[in-house]
Amino acid sequence: MGTTSLISPASVGVLNRMRVLTALHTAGPQSRADLARTFGVSRATVGTILQPLLDNGVLVEGAAPATSESPAAGNGSPATAAGSPAVGAEPPAAVAEQLEPGGRTPGPGSGGPPRASNPARSGGKPPRPVWFSAVARSIGAVQILPGRIDVAAVSLTGQIRSRATAAFAARAGDPSAFAAALRSCCAEGLAGTAVIGVGVASAGLVDPDGARLVELNAAPALAGYPVGAALGDQLGAPVYLEHHARVQALGDRWFGAGRGLDTFASVSTGDSVGVGVVQHGTVLSAPGAGSGAHLTVAAGGARCDCGRRGCWKTVASLGWLRRRAAALGVPGARGTTLGRLTARAERGDRSAAGLIDEYAANLALGLGNVQQLLAPGTFILHGDAAAGGATFADRLADHLAVNSPHRPDAVPTVMRADPNRNTALLGCAGLVLSEGMQLVR
């Protein structure tokens, strides 16, 4: 029987700070008394947790912030402080036990933010809300996709302050062009801004511990590229790397449609397909794990760019949708998207309507497996599938129900992410917030 390591005092401090930051992102500015009631601990305990964040300029205490620095709109779910969003962090219950002996932590669905104290009744001083500093240093966000790099400076509240995009030759024989594009894009996107840390989201297989790219089928020359060392040398800040799908899930958890949800799946669609799962507030991650794009869903199916056959990606990506549209004779098939197909279907095109349903069924093949194994219950669509509107989301939910265990009390639901927000870039900021709190002492 293996041994389980104990939580060190330093790690307890990190986890407690994470829970406080999550509570603020979920419910908005709160006073020390509000936070004490949220977590069921004393104000003195809250003060001990807050002080390093105040001393380091991450948080400020005083007047309520302007609306431009308020948290991104969520999904309307009840606000809770449940769950630590740290990748690979200790379960929330372990953190709660360390907040204060005998203290309690509200669980999922425990209700909205704590009620603000009423100074007029108590005769005390008005409460001083704690919130993220508007002048704190930004977080660097880097997204690496086949042929494209996106870089942004993101505030602690999820506001994109500056941004740049660069292209590179994905099929180049060596990584020099990628390295040059990465340097120039960071120089432009961050505009010389000093950042507290850099979060990197990459497609393919990644090594988070070594901060290097392991394999990117569409850009084979990037195998083994030390992205953490390269960015660390250029920007002089710690670098955190994770798979794109899991970083997107962090973006949903911190700033997007997953705020206030304890468990859900974040679904990427478009040129590829993938899933990141948040379970009890934590993004699930394992060394060497992918996003699900290469799950086998059709034995002996079409050959994938990974060299194998029948991968989920071969029947649930934009490339498949366009090839199938061409086979069905849909006009403009080479440039079609789900949004365009939906418009054609709404005008009475039966071929387009049938293809949309086929795409939903194929997408549900992989998502049904995720539901069978991990039961996230709620699926948040990003990318091309989100452009299908409520009709496509409903069709996907129907196919998911067929492919999932029969539980009348737990029918899978499908939501669409805000198409105007780059959740993966925001997730890069969430990655730094999740992984970088050990830098705050």
Q: Write down the pLDDT at residue 383.
A: 92
Q: Write down the pLDDT at residue 426.
A: 93
Q: Write down the pLDDT at residue 440.
A: 46
Q: Is the pLDDT of residue 99 over 70?
A: no
Q: Is the pLDDT of residue 5 over 70?
A: no
Q: Which contacts (CB < 8 Å, 24+ apart) does range 384-387 have? A: 384/269, 384/270, 384/318, 384/321, 384/337, 384/338, 384/339, 385/267, 385/269, 385/338, 385/359, 386/269, 386/416, 386/417, 386/419, 387/337, 387/338, 387/339, 387/342, 387/419
Joined tokens for residue 97? 């036990």
Q: Write down the pLDDT at residue 234.
A: 95
Q: Is the pLDDT of residue 112 over 50?
A: no
Joined tokens for residue 216? 């990117």
Q: What residues have CB less than 8 Å from 257, skipping those under 6 apart?
A: 74, 75, 380, 415, 416, 417, 418
| Lowest-pLDDT choice from 130-139, 161-170, 268-277 | 130-139
Q: Is the pLDDT of residue 213 over 90?
A: yes
Q: Write down the pLDDT at residue 407.
A: 65
306-365: pLDDT as tens digits: 888 999 999 999 999 999 999 999 999 999 999 999 999 999 999 999 999 999 999 999
Strand positions, DSSP E, 208-248: 212-215, 239-243
Q: Write down the pLDDT at residue 306.
A: 85
What integer best gives the mean pLDDT of the chain? Answer: 82
Q: Is the pLDDT of residue 240 over 70?
A: yes
26-51: pLDDT as tens digits: 788 999 999 999 999 999 999 999 99
Q: Write down the pLDDT at residue 19.
A: 83
Q: Write down the pLDDT at residue 134.
A: 80
Q: Is the pLDDT of residue 164 over 80?
A: yes
What percentage of residues in the chain have a pLDDT greater than 90? 53
| Lowest-pLDDT choice from 96-105, 199-208, 361-370 | 96-105
Q: Write down the pLDDT at residue 216.
A: 87
Q: Write down the pLDDT at residue 18.
A: 80
Domains, the chain, in order of start with CATH, read 9-132 (no CATH), 138-250+423-439 (3.30.420.40), 261-416 (3.30.420.40)
Q: State the pLDDT confidence band at 116, using cuts at 50, 70 and 90.
A: very low
Q: pTM for the complete prediction?
A: 0.78
C-alpha 286/C-alpha 274 separation (Å) is 15
Given its phi and psi angles, is residue 158 left (phi above 0), alpha (psi -120 to 50 degrees) or beta?
left
Which helix (H) or strand (E) segment is 138 a member of? strand 138-145
Joined tokens for residue 419? 């198409």
DSSP letters along 308-376, please? -BSBGGGTSSHHHHHHHHHHTT-TTGGG--HHHHHHHHHTT-HHHHHHHHHHHHHHHHHHHHHHHHH--
Identity of the residue numbered 348 = G
Q: State the pLDDT confidence band at 150, using cuts at 50, 70 and 90.
A: very high
Question: 243 - beta bridge partners?
Answer: 202
Q: Write down the pLDDT at residue 22.
A: 80
Q: Write down the pLDDT at residue 28.
A: 84
Region 432-441 average pLDDT: 64
Q: Write down the pLDDT at residue 441.
A: 41
Rounded to 5 degrees, φ, ψ at 49 are: -70, -40
Encode 66-96 in three state secondary structure.
Answer: CHHHCCCCCCCCCCCCCCCCCCCCCCHHHHH
Q: State the pLDDT confidence band at 111, using cuts at 50, 70 and 90.
A: very low
Q: Write down the pLDDT at residue 110.
A: 36
63-93: pLDDT as tens digits: 555 544 444 443 333 233 333 333 223 323 3
378-431: pLDDT as tens digits: 999 999 999 999 999 999 999 998 877 766 667 899 999 988 888 999 999 989
What percentage of residues in the chain have a pLDDT greater than 70? 81
Query: 382 vs 12, which has greater pLDDT?
Result: 382
| Lowest-pLDDT choice from 75-84, 115-124, 288-297 | 75-84
